[in-house]
Amino acid sequence: MKRILTILAAVVPLAALMPLPGSSAATTAASTATACTTVSIKAPQGVRIDSLTGVDQPGGTVVIPPNPPFPSGPVTGVPAYCEVTVQLSHPGAGDHVKTVVWLPKTGWNGRFQALGGSAYQAGEFGIPWVNAVKAGYAVASTDAGVGPSPFTADAWALKDGKVNQALLLNFASRSLHDLATVGKAVTNQYYGHAANYSYWTGCSTGGRQGYIEAQQHPDDFDGILAQSPAVNWDRWGVAAIWPAVVMNQEHTYPTACVFDEFNKAAVQACDSKDGVVNGVIDQPQKCTWAPERLVGKTVLCDGKPVTITAADARVVRKIWDGPRGLWYGLTRGSAFDGLAATADGKAVPFVVPDSWVRDFLKLDPAFDTSTLTYSQYAKLFRQSEAQYNEVIGSDDPDLSAFRRSGGKLLSWHGLSDSLIPALGTVDYRKRVERELGGSTRVNDFYRLFLAPGAGHCGGGITPTDPLASLVKWVEQGQAPATLPAATVDGTERRDLCAYPSVSKYKGYGDPKQASSYRCS
């Protein structure tokens, strides 16, 4: 569970303060047109503003309180800022939504940035938020009226025994458009003119939110950075408990040590197929190593010998295969402890999809998903598709309006993501290509980068500053052919290639350096 919480903490890399083309940071740091305490805006259509307060904040050191699994602690060097809190609602919905905007008093770079959430938390109010203000952005986020808990929807999903459709709509899409509208209006009112450019950034749920904004509100943002996106939510939300269902139905619960042994063997078998041995399967979708080859091997787990069984191999194969005919499974090389965790001889389902099944499909927060049979599971999968695809699928492939608006969508996904398999994002990208006429036309406004060996929202070799690449694309027309990526300690570097190209080792040079690879 500890590792799950760590990888849920999606810390979005933020671009350094960069002046707009043809100007300087000094010239874009306009003096305010109104005092912070007197900021006021008109309510957008379909929205009622219940209260709006502006408070001058001194900046300096801002302390982010603990809110697991998100990072906390002090952030120094924050400029003085105006904090505007807007409480809003939708007539007849019975909701109460909080939207917060921070506006730097000096050094504004002329840009507006909205931050997405993680799991069931609709917005980001932590360290990435503060870093955005340090970088000169007017930054905003929303709680969508669903509260601060990222782990489950138990507290808000149901109302009188039925799905709370108003809050589900808020979480899925409505509050995102409100955030864009309200956040930009506050920015305009405070500085005396509109932001020159507006951006969306987010990972996981935040990535899904970025995609649905491009699909439903193509004029909201000039650039969208959507990382490890939880698109196809209606299918992923059920597919992600498949490993637990498999273990429960097979009555076999491999330990983390045994699962790791299968992954090590798969990496050893497929690592060299990309031309370099570096502990990473560059194209895991092409790795077909059979887990049955490990049956009978004895490994040491906590100092005790354990013999791998045919039942262990059967469980691993089913997890890698995924629910066949329905959705994708984990790729070989991805850690099992996100979706296939075990403890005390039991399966531990990932909390987010477990909540989805309990709250939105069974309408019972106390439902025990460990009782699901294979046939019951398949019925729930089809139910989720039929009932929720149009609400929260976030996978409409028609991005033609976003293309016409001039928007740019930059997305990346780790090929060893242990929570949201990247093949779901690839599936969406392929559907967009079929809808809009091929890879070349789609690359004009939507670029996807796959990161070999990278996990969920980080871990491994991941993009170092994708927002900077998006800003250059939007404001200077420089479409990124590659995304610079590196490990956290900077010891390994690689340039990720725009899909459908892949990064290949040249056959010479240090495999830890980007110069040793080319896009092919």
Tens digits of residue pLDDT in 404-416: 999 999 999 999 9
Report the mean per-residue pLDDT for the chain: 93
Would you state the pLDDT for residue 34?
79
- Report the alpha-carbon distance of residue 173 to residue 144 in Å, rounded: 9
The model's confidence at residue 163, banded by pLDDT at 50, 70 and 90, is very high
Catalytic residue among 95, 178, 456, 516: 456
Would you state the pLDDT for residue 33?
61
- Report the alpha-carbon distance of residue 428 to residue 393 in Å, rounded: 11
Catalytic residue among 178, 359, 417, 495: 417
Question: Which of 300, 56, 294, 317 has its CA nearest to residue 190?
Answer: 56
Mean pLDDT along residues 96-113:
97
Would you state the pLDDT for residue 25?
39
Tens digits of residue pLDDT in 254-280: 999 999 999 999 999 999 988 889 899
In this predicted structure, the answer to whether residue 8 has a pLDDT above a threshold of 60 is no
- Report the alpha-carbon distance of residue 118 to residue 98 in Å, rounded: 17
Mean pLDDT along residues 202-221:
98
417 is catalytic: yes
Greater model confidence, 221 or 148? 221
φ and ψ at residue 348, rounded to 5 degrees: -115, 100
The model's confidence at residue 221, banded by pLDDT at 50, 70 and 90, is very high
Following DSSP, what letter does each residue of 271-292 receive, concatenated? GGGGSS-SS--SSGGG----GG
Would you state the pLDDT for residue 28?
44
Sign for the CA dihedral angle at 338, 340, 345, 346 comes to positive
- Report the alpha-carbon distance of residue 188 to residue 217 in Å, rounded: 19
Tens digits of residue pLDDT in 397-455: 999 999 999 999 999 999 999 999 999 999 999 999 999 999 999 999 999 999 999 99
Q: Where in the chain is the domain with CATH 3.40.50.1820?
A: 35-233+391-479
Residue 473: which H helix or E strand, with range?
A: helix 466-476
204 is catalytic: yes
Following DSSP, what letter does each residue of 423-468 receive, concatenated? HHHHHHHHHHHHHHT-HHHHHTTEEEEEETT--SSSSSSEES-HHH
Would you state the pLDDT for residue 67?
77
In this structure, which amino acid lies at residue 2?
A: K
Residue 343: which H helix or E strand, with range?
A: strand 341-343
The model's confidence at residue 125, banded by pLDDT at 50, 70 and 90, is confident
The model's confidence at residue 150, banded by pLDDT at 50, 70 and 90, is confident
Mean pLDDT along residues 209-215:
98
Q: What is the 3-state secondary structure (H, E, C) of 225-257?
A: EEECCCCCHHHHHHHCCHHHHHHHHHCCCCCHH
What number does CATH give the domain 35-233+391-479? 3.40.50.1820
Mean pLDDT along residues 85-91:
98
> What is the percent of the chain with per-residue pLDDT over 70, rounded to a whole number?
94
- How many residues are given for the chain? 520
Q: What is the SS3 assignment for 41?
A: coil
Q: Residues 6 or more apart from 26 whose CB is under 8 A from it?
A: none
The model's confidence at residue 32, banded by pLDDT at 50, 70 and 90, is low
**The two structure tokens encoding residue 457:** 């929202």
Q: What is the 3-state secondary structure (H, E, C) of 369-420?
A: HHHCCHHHHHHHHHHHHHHHHHHHCCCCCCCHHHHHHCCEEEEEEECCCCCC
- Report the alpha-carbon distance of residue 174 to residue 182 in Å, rounded: 12
Q: In 281-373, which ranges are continuous DSSP H helix?
A: 310-321, 351-355
444 is catalytic: no
- Report the alpha-carbon distance of residue 345 to residue 335 in Å, rounded: 19
- Report the alpha-carbon distance of residue 24 to residue 347 in Å, rounded: 56
In this predicted structure, the answer to whether residue 18 has a pLDDT above a threshold of 70 is no
Which of these ranges, 31-45, 142-156, 163-177, 334-348, has the smallest mean pLDDT?
31-45
> What is the percent of the chain with per-residue pLDDT over 90, rounded to a whole number?
88
Catalytic residue among 141, 173, 198, 204: 204
Would you state the pLDDT for residue 22?
35
In this structure, which amino acid lies at residue 495?
A: D
Would you state the pLDDT for residue 149?
82
In this predicted structure, the answer to whether residue 316 has a pLDDT above a threshold of 90 is yes
Tens digits of residue pLDDT in 372-388: 999 999 999 999 999 99
Question: Which of 134, 141, 70 has its CA nearest to residue 106?
Answer: 134
Q: What is residue 174's DSSP assignment?
A: I
Whether omega before 511 lies within 30 degrees of 0, making that bond cis, reads no
